Structures are given as C-alpha cells and as structure tokens.
Amino acid sequence: MNEVQLIDRTLLDEVSRLARESPRHRRNWNFHASDDAASHRLLNAMEPDSYIPPHRHDDAAKDETIIALRGRFGVIFFDPAGGITSTLVLDPAAGISGLTIPHGTFHALVSLAAGGVFFESKAGPYRPLTAAERASWAPAEQDPAAHAYLDRLLGLFRT
C-alpha cells in the first residue's frame, strides 16, 4: 500500500536543509517511485548560488509544470542561439505561483531567495538530456565560468 505524503512546512524545511548541505545547493525530493515512472513529480529546493542551466525537453510529452511553493524564482527563456527572449518571476507572495513550459523551449531557473522550493511535474521516464537539449552556449554547472554566468542571470532580476 502506498503512503500519503504531505507537502507541509516540515517537508519544505527538510528539503531546503538538504539543498543547503548539498555541494550543488540544490536538492530534489521525488514523489515518483523510480526513474521509469510515467509521471515525474518532485520538489526542487534551490539556493541563490545555484541554478538550473539552460535546457529544453524535445520530447513532445515533456511539457514541464513548475509551481513555486516558497521563495522567489527567476525564469529565463532563450532562443536557440542563447539570446534571452523573456523573463518572469515566480513569487507566490506576489500572486504568480507557477507556469507550464512547452517542450522544445530553452529555459533556465535561478533562485532569488534562500530556502526556495518549487514543485515540478513532467512526463517520465527519466532520460538524460541529449546534446541538442543542452544549451551549448551556456556553461555546465561544474564549469569555472558557471559562477559568472549565474551572476549575469541573477542580474536580470536586480532592481
């Protein structure tokens, strides 16, 4: 029998703590049982010195829904050459909680506040991003240039 899992302050605090302690300063909390599950549902906790690098999901079944539960997140959209086409801020306190990103759309997320957590849902099964789905014009998280790139992305949201 499956067990009911509450998404409450205790869980959000725990996944935030795990993100702070993680070398990437990000942490997923999966609700799906395996990478082969047909539906992937997870919490993603992210600190401001971490980001989800630009990428897209080419599979027509992999539209992605993101709902900010706490914190603030900057979402950046790109054209295929890396030009920024638009930005928006997810901030539940300001009334903008989430969005659905169509497959094939290059996007990145940055955390604009400590302790931020969002809920993410997309079709499974999990498959690593292909070379075409990774943004060749953006540094990977481990690349020494990633910090400067993240700072540039964060700068889009500074007033």
pLDDT tens sequence across 94-134:
999 999 999 999 999 999 999 999 999 999 999 999 999 99
Establish if 155 belongs to a structural domain: no
Q: Cα separations (Å) of 134 from 14, 91, 107, 139? A: 30, 26, 10, 10
Establish if 151 belongs to a structural domain: no
Q: Calculate mean pLDDT across residues 43-55.
A: 95
Calculate ∠ Cα 71-72-76, nearest 5°: 145
Instruction: Give which of 21, 6, 25 is closest to 116, Cα–Cα.
Output: 25
Number of domains in the chain: 1
What is the model's pTM? 0.94
Establish if 140 belongs to a structural domain: no
CATH of the domain at 83: 2.60.120.10
Q: Is the pLDDT of residue 1 over 80?
A: no
Establish if 50 belongs to a structural domain: yes
Domain assignment of residue 107, given as a range: 9-125
Q: Is the pLDDT of residue 3 over 70?
A: yes
Establish if 145 belongs to a structural domain: no
Contact (CB, 8 A) for 38 and 124: yes
